[in-house]
Structure 1
Amino acid sequence: MVHPHPRATVTAVLVLLLPVLVLLGAAPRARALDNGLARTPPMGWNDWNAFGCNVSEQLIEQTADYLVSSGLKDAGYQYVNIDDCWMASQRDSGGNLVPDPAKFPDGISGTAAYVHSKGLKLGIYESAGTATCAGYPGSLNHEQQDADSFAAWGVDYLKYDNCNNQGVPWQQRYDAMRDALHNTGRAIVFSMCEWGEDSVWTWGAATGNLWRTTGDINASFGSMLSIYHSNVQLAQYAGPGAWNDPDMLEVGNGMSFTEDRSEFSLWSEMAAPLIAGTDLRKATPATLSLYGNRAVVAVDQDSLGKQGTQVASSGGHDVLAKPLSNGDVSVVLFNENSSAATISTTAAAVGLPSAGSYKLTNLWSNLVSSSTGAISATVPGHGSVMYRVSVGSGSSTGSTHPLVGASSKRCLDANGGATTPGTKIQIWDCGGGSNQAVTITAAGELRLYGGTQCLDAYNNQTSAGTKVELWTCNGGTNQQWRLNPDGTVTGVQSGLCLDVTGGDQPAGNVNGTQLELWGCNGGANQQWSLG
């Protein structure tokens, strides 16, 4: 959150010192806090980035409902976290924290009961100072009393901030709350929002389940990039029960779709907590396609608990590798720059055997390919390509799948199930019909109906706005397509992207929307995945 006192100088100095600290801090990671919690990085939602102080019982309950109805709960999101401003401005006569009765008419206990009834868990916020960052009563010198309240209310997760700390040493303040939480006898995840001060990663594992490694994030590529640079250097300190926390996800809060996807890829590769910071109730299908990608979430949640490391970085072209529990390696190719670039590595460089065949599964497009060792992709500016690499081989060529649009979560579809040449190609709710079953051929065709009809650029036209239609397969270049590592599909003849017409607008992704060729622009309406 935005704190009422500046700390930009401290953060800047910290960023400059991080490489030195990492080099000096080569000792093994400290023993993790023995509370049995957060064996994989916590997943959930927090209200602050989207709502600030405008938190309420209704918001928390509606978000809990949405986590269930959207499928995000089933994807692993379980914590519904209340941030600052939930309490009254004064403690009661007994010195207890009091939930604001206007915001939480059923109290925190009533809200927790509702969240628990949905199979979810409730998080709350406090600060290790005399006041929270927004000026409400803090927990300094009230640790046990407040921890007892949290436990009595049914709280499952505490985010503990650092404002108004009176200069009391960091570890002393955070250890005090750790011990207080332990004394309650309730299982409460302890999230230390200490802003990455006092080299918290060197002692945090014995105190909390996760610790902020930097100052606050905001919804800009520059902010995300700066935090990534700091957090990626700290892999040696993370592991089951104790995680580096580069702050909440800004996915859905205003960055481009490409940038949002990079943030989610990088956070998952770094085994970071996946705490959504947007208004999920209003999230677009494009935003949900990111939060809900279970293959990427599985990398974050892998039971081995290794944070991905930066195995190569040159000129803003980064390669990250994360070993996984089954022997696979997750690889992210990340382009920090604004122009597209080819980024390459090898199986040996990411920790796989140096000889053999490798299966590359693109975790955003679901496209499968094989390699004898090279791992390479053209990556758009500010973009990323994420592979799960395993020993073996495989290919999507010859396979049949629905082709799902990221902006709509609807399938490429031949209108009305017709097979007549000239039939409109559109998006429609995925239904499993043969008019949505796309077969990828070695010639680059996208065939429907078991391979009898092809996706075709109308009349061999190559201009933006050319309609895509169904036509008898004839081997023409206007029927040849490239399924690219960045999730786009481009026409071989035109070089243009397969585009949901007007799909960059909220109203442009309805059933029946025409597909066309358009200049590639990174929009979610030009991103596709094999279902």
Structure 2
Amino acid sequence: MAMLGLLACTPDPEGRIGGDGVAIDGVPVTPPMGWNSWNTFGCNITEQIVREQADALVVTGLRDAGYRYVVVDDCWAAPERADDGSLQADPRRFPSGMAALGQYLHDRGLKFGLYAGADDKTCTQFLGTYPGATGSRGHEGRDAQTFADWQVDYLKYDWCSSNADHDDQVSAFTAMRDAIRDTGRPMVYSINPNSGVAESVPGAEFDWGGVATMTRVTNDITPVWSTNADDSGAQGVIDIVDAVAPLASRVGPSAFNDPDMLVVGVDGNPGLTLAQQRTQMSMWAMMAAPLIAGNDLTRMSTQTLDLLGNRAVIVIDQDDRVSAGAPVDDDAEIWARAIGDKGLVVSLTNRADHPRAMSVSLGSLGLVGDATVSAVDAWTGRRYQAANGELTVDVAVNDTVLLQIA
């Protein structure tokens, strides 16, 4: 069996911002995995909740499966800076302080993540739902050093402004990148240039790979299959898959497209079926995307744990080649991703409203000869043998079969 040239990705219209090098040295080359507080707890986050979620990562085995970053999103900070200009924790909800919280996480083999605003306000402050103006614009050096002193391992940095000036965004995000570099502490640097910017997704329009470890390339995700381009500004799972498809060429070691967090196990209206949640896990793995859970880990079902903890899917996401997949022959339902030295993974997603058999030709995958080609489904372990130059599988409604070709 021989594998020929496989995928052609849409080139970026602009050069890579920040140059070709890694944005932050010393961070993992594979996509970050962990948990973020926002989707379930929003501004109600507390020190106790974070500790409970961290403990759940350990007890459930998700930490050992790779979910190590515990990211405290917006609303952790006091509405005012300290007398010396430093950020400080809200004393009521985080009475032990952020350094102590970081130590708690590190003692359990986890990593510590925090949120900050790239303009003068965080997102909730920009929207008027949280008091103060404690964004990091103009405070980059002081705040980065504060994060380093607290032993932070991951910084989520949100734009949170109606100002869409590209040069201004580049200046703000680069300033924090440089401040993190100056601390000497490796931190995953996760940026979202899209927050507050109407009718535009700057994270997708430009390649920020030289500025940040991971860049949000979509609007916010919501736990539905599709929003059908409604006025909410949010996107469903399949909307995001389509939005990220042309951007595969940007992905490489320590540089990732961020299609937003996992909504597996997150309550929603109407929410996602089991098949649709399996599709999200499958397609995030095909994108070589960060796997950041957002559900309540202390209350999740066995079904949710099995989805998040599937080792075969995680192995695909975390493959050391760090090469994102893309549609095969412009077919949005069939993607392929190169893994390892010569490996290949193919996803088949049924977008129809009825179960159906789906096929992919070996020729379209650049495979020569069909006598020995077989594939194993990462979800079920079932093996499929190619016949008549094709691999054919039965796929349920909105489900995805994830085939690793051997």
- Secondary structure of the equivalent of 1:81? strand
Deviates more, 1:162-171 or 1:88-97: 162-171
1:296 to 310, 313, 319: 313
The whole-number CA distance in structure 2 between the counterparts of 1:26 and 1:104 is: 43
Deviates more, 1:195-204 or 1:43-52: 195-204
Alignment partner, residue 79 of structure 1: 69
Contact in 1 for aligned 2:376/2:405 (Cα 8 Å): yes
The whole-number CA distance in structure 2 between the counterparts of 1:24 and 1:289 is: 37
- The Cα of 1:239 is off from its aligned counterpart by 0.8
- Secondary structure of the equivalent of 1:50? helix
Change in 2 beyond 3 A, CA 1:367/1:24: closer
Alignment partner, residue 459 of structure 1: none
- Secondary structure of the equivalent of 2:79? coil
The whole-number CA distance in structure 1 between the counterparts of 2:256 and 2:369 is: 31
Instruction: Give the structure with higher Rg (CA).
Output: 1
Cα displacement string for residues 284-303 of structure 1 (whole angstroms, at most 9, x for unaligned residues):
00011110000000000000
Cα displacement string for residues 438-485 of structure 1 (whole angstroms, at most 9, x for unaligned residues):
xxxxxxxxxxxxxxxxxxxxxxxxxxxxxxxxxxxxxxxxxxxxxxxx
Alignment partner, residue 343 of structure 1: 358
TM-score by length of 1: 0.66
The whole-number CA distance in structure 1 between the counterparts of 2:203 and 2:36 is: 25
Cα displacement string for residues 191-245 of structure 1 (whole angstroms, at most 9, x for unaligned residues):
0112273355644111010000011001111111111111121001111110000
Q: Which amino acid aligns with 1:156?
A: D
- The Cα of 1:62 is off from its aligned counterpart by 1.1
Contact in 2 for aligned 1:358/1:370 (Cα 8 Å): yes
Alignment partner, residue 47 of structure 1: 37
Is 2:49 aligned against 1:59? yes
- Secondary structure of the equivalent of 2:364? coil
The whole-number CA distance in structure 2 between the counterparts of 1:342 and 1:27 is: 41
Alignment partner, residue 380 of structure 1: 396
Contact in 1 for aligned 2:203/2:215 (Cα 8 Å): no
- The Cα of 1:64 is off from its aligned counterpart by 1.2
Contact in 2 for aligned 1:312/1:318 (Cα 8 Å): no
Cα displacement string for residues 405-464 of structure 1 (whole angstroms, at most 9, x for unaligned residues):
xxxxxxxxxxxxxxxxxxxxxxxxxxxxxxxxxxxxxxxxxxxxxxxxxxxxxxxxxxxx
The whole-number CA distance in structure 2 between the counterparts of 1:166 and 1:320 is: 36
**Aligned alpha-carbon RMSD (Å):** 2.0
Is 2:272 aligned against 1:255? yes
Change in 2 beyond 3 A, CA 1:132/1:34: closer
Is 2:161 aligned against 1:134? no
- Secondary structure of the equivalent of 1:388? strand
Contact in 2 for aligned 1:41/1:272 (Cα 8 Å): yes
Is 2:161 aligned against 1:164? yes
Contact in 2 for aligned 1:201/1:211 (Cα 8 Å): no
Is 2:147 aligned against 1:150? yes
The whole-number CA distance in structure 2 between the counterparts of 1:259 and 1:64 is: 26
Contact in 2 for aligned 1:30/1:237 (Cα 8 Å): no
Q: Which amino acid aligns with 1:385?
A: V
2:246 to 225, 230, 233: 233
Cα displacement string for residues 284-343 of structure 1 (whole angstroms, at most 9, x for unaligned residues):
0001111000000000000000001111455xx611101111422111001223222222
Contact in 2 for aligned 1:329/1:352 (Cα 8 Å): no
Q: Which amino acid aligns with 2:218?
A: T
Q: Which amino acid aligns with 2:256?
A: W
The whole-number CA distance in structure 2 between the counterparts of 1:368 and 1:200 is: 37
1:311 to 328, 333, 350: 328
Alignment partner, residue 4 of structure 2: none
Q: Which aligned pairs between 1:25-424 and structure 2 lie closer than 5 A?
A: 25=13, 30-135=20-125, 136=132, 137-164=134-161, 166=163, 169-195=168-194, 197-198=201-202, 202-222=206-226, 223-253=236-266, 254-314=271-331, 318-372=333-387, 373-390=389-406
Change in 2 beyond 3 A, CA 1:200/1:371: closer
Q: Which amino acid aligns with 1:143?
A: E
The whole-number CA distance in structure 1 between the counterparts of 2:315 and 2:206 is: 27
Q: Which amino acid aligns with 2:202?
A: D
In structure 1, list runs of 5 or more residues that go unmatched: 1-20, 391-531
TM-score by length of 2: 0.86
Q: Which amino acid aligns with 2:377?
A: N
- Secondary structure of the equivalent of 2:67? coil
The whole-number CA distance in structure 2 between the counterparts of 1:269 and 1:95 is: 43
The whole-number CA distance in structure 1 between the counterparts of 2:367 and 2:297 is: 38
Contact in 1 for aligned 2:252/2:323 (Cα 8 Å): yes
- Secondary structure of the equivalent of 1:241? coil
Larger relative contact order, structure 1 or 2 (CA cutoff 8 Å, min sep 6)? 2
- Secondary structure of the equivalent of 1:159? strand
Q: Which amino acid aligns with 1:329?
A: L
Q: How many pairs align? A: 368
Change in 2 beyond 3 A, CA 1:367/1:355: closer
In structure 2, list runs of 5 or more residues that go unmatched: 1-8, 126-131, 195-199, 227-235
The whole-number CA distance in structure 1 between the counterparts of 2:96 and 2:394 is: 53
The whole-number CA distance in structure 1 between the counterparts of 2:30 and 2:243 is: 21
- The Cα of 1:351 is off from its aligned counterpart by 3.5
- The Cα of 1:112 is off from its aligned counterpart by 0.3
The whole-number CA distance in structure 2 between the counterparts of 1:377 and 1:270 is: 22
- Secondary structure of the equivalent of 1:369? strand
- The Cα of 1:23 is off from its aligned counterpart by 5.2
- Secondary structure of the equivalent of 1:387? strand
Contact in 2 for aligned 1:129/1:166 (Cα 8 Å): no
Alignment partner, residue 509 of structure 1: none
Change in 2 beyond 3 A, CA 1:363/1:183: same
